[in-house]
Amino acid sequence: MMNKYIKLFLFLFIVTSTSTVIVSCDIEDGKDGINGVDGKDGEDGKDGEDGEDFTPPEAMFSNKSSLAPLVKLHSEFSTVEAFSLLSSTDVLSNGFRLVGAQDGAGFLKDGDEYIYVVNAEDDYAVSRIRFDKDLNPISGDWLLNSGVADYARQCSGTMWEAAVHGGDKDIFLSASESLSYDVKGIDPWIETPTPTADFGLDALGEFSWENAVPLPKGAYTGKTVIIGGDDDSSGSEGQVTMYLSENGDADLANGKIYVLRFKQVSDGAGGTMDVAADQVYNEGS
């Protein structure tokens, strides 16, 4: 029995000693190596060549219509020259003929050609005219005509360009100058026009629209802002309106409508006076 205790004691002593040796031995740190040499910076690339300036061909600046320009230039504009591109006396190759008093318009480049969208105010319509690279009129069609249910005098117009105003498509904003009507939003690129379709942008409100001018998308980031002129002569004396949406830079359906309110008006004697609630004022008189 004593021999067993002695053997057990010696075994534990050896194990304990071995463990102590293992734990108590520190490994010596290696020496730091020498830092490498930094590589050389690459050379700058060569600057590209400047593009050529656009030089319009001489044929672009000439009368294209059979009718001379109906413009009288005063001496103050002696360096300005006017040219006629299209008149109501002209008939284009596809039978299109320009009618009505031309008002607000938009101009787009389409490859080497151009698209001109314009309101025909007296005919309650909007036309689209295609020009070649030298501004010779090629053809025309009607994007809106008086057969539409809410026909109105189409007054001023503004081309909403996606690159400028936001969104992913161009829209021609045509102002309907009749009491309680919508601004019409028309696709200038449509292949087959639907001139009697409903183009009304209800969210912008119903006014006697003189114009509807969208602000560039960078004016208020993430917002859609359209300033409108109300040409109402029925008693309200007209107003300045604003459509505001905070749902992105091309939201024409979910915004709110605001109307500019005067705080003071002329008192008729060279001074001003505070406005009264529910009172209509005419600053033009």
Query: Residue 1 pLDDT > 80, yes or no?
Result: no
**Residue 57 identity (one-letter amino acid):** P
Contact 120, 128 (CB under 8 A): no
249-276 pLDDT, tens digit per residue, is 999 999 999 998 889 989 889 899 999 9
The b-or-e profile of 52-64 (16+ CB within 10 A means b, else e) is: eeeeeeeeeeeeb
Tell which wins on pLDDT, 227 or 8.
227
User: Residue 260's closest CA among 233, 284, 281?
Assistant: 281
Which pLDDT does position 280 carry in this prediction?
Answer: 82
Does the model's pTM come out above 0.95? no
d(CA 166, CA 255): 15
d(CA 155, CA 233): 15
21-73 pLDDT, tens digit per residue, is 334 444 555 566 677 777 787 787 787 777 777 788 888 899 999 999 999 99
| 223 HSE (CA, 13 A, CB side) | 12
Phi, psi of 10 (to 5 degrees): -65, -40
